[in-house]
Amino acid sequence: MAGSRYEYVKKFELPDPLLPGTFMVLRVDGHAFHRLSSDHDFIKPNDERALQLMDRAARDVMNQFKEIVLAFGESDEYSFLFRRNTVVYSRRQSKILTNVTSLFTSSYVFNWSQYLPNTALKYPPSFDGRIVLYPSVKEIRDYFAWRQADTHINNLYNTIFWALVLEGGETTAQAHATLKGTSSSVKHEMLHSKFGINYNTLPERYRKGSILVREEVLQEAVLLQGNEATGDQSDGAARRKSQTKVKVRTTVELLHCDIIGDEFWDKRPNLLLY
């Protein structure tokens, strides 16, 4: 069927393919989440319910996009790593970015009442997204090391900051002034001496962030292969031969562990191969 005379407007659409053979990392960030957390009375410095909601939204994304092999989340952000050889949406940046960001956002809103059942959502949360391409395994490992290091730095600051405000009686302005220019070791000492908190014993979720990784699971399946006589021809009994075949499936696992060192990656040598 011939197109209409208006079809020429399609020529204004520009192709936006992402460079092939590169690693693709898509990061979503909450928009104005400082206000959102305040307006909805999130627990400070960490609200377990809100973090679990972020994990749920990220898991829904990974369940939909099988090409995502790894995700890392902290606070109001999540980073998704696609297989190096993915051709999802023909690697069109706009299609990938809008679909993942919109799915993450809709899942966050859809599941809100499950994780914060006593907190009515006052207005629609939103997330922005970006895609960055990296050329090699080194940059990918450094990227996730950077995000986990950022998790630790932010959480250490927030932990002592809110201790000063909620337990120490300081205003937010005074707490910021107290912490200005302090090193990590000083923050650790302040937590321990003033509030009896050993930072290293706090939940790893807060200190290390959330890791969603696509793991391979081996399953044994019994396959039946036709009939074979039992040897007792008089009663005509027969039995089936069977053999065991190993099948591989994947599942998305949630971890709170170190991703900077070698152990995580050494246990998953195929994670960054394809």
Q: Which amino acid is at 30?
A: G
Binding-site residues from annotation for Mg(2+): 29-30, 76
| 235, pLDDT greater than 90 | no
- More confident site: 238 or 133: 133
- Residue 27 belongs to a domain with what CATH number? 3.30.70.3000
Binding-site residues from annotation for GTP: 29-34, 75-76
Q: Do the domain assignments include residue 98?
A: yes
Q: Do the domain assignments include residue 49?
A: yes
Q: Please list the residues that pair with 133 across neighbouring strands.
A: 24
φ, ψ for residue 272, nearest 5 deg: -110, 15
pLDDT digits (tens, 9 = 90+) for 16-43: 999 999 999 999 999 999 999 999 999 9
Which residues form the domain of 64? 16-153+203-215+250-271
pLDDT at 250: 84
Q: Which amino acid is at 211?
A: I
Q: Do the domain assignments include residue 134?
A: yes
Q: Do the domain assignments include residue 243?
A: no
**What is the distance between the alpha carbons of residues 177 and 156, in angstroms, rounded to a whole number?**
16
pLDDT at 225: 53
> In total, how many domains does the chain have?
1
H helices then E strands: how many in the chain?
A: 9, 6
Binding-site residues from annotation: 29-34, 75-76
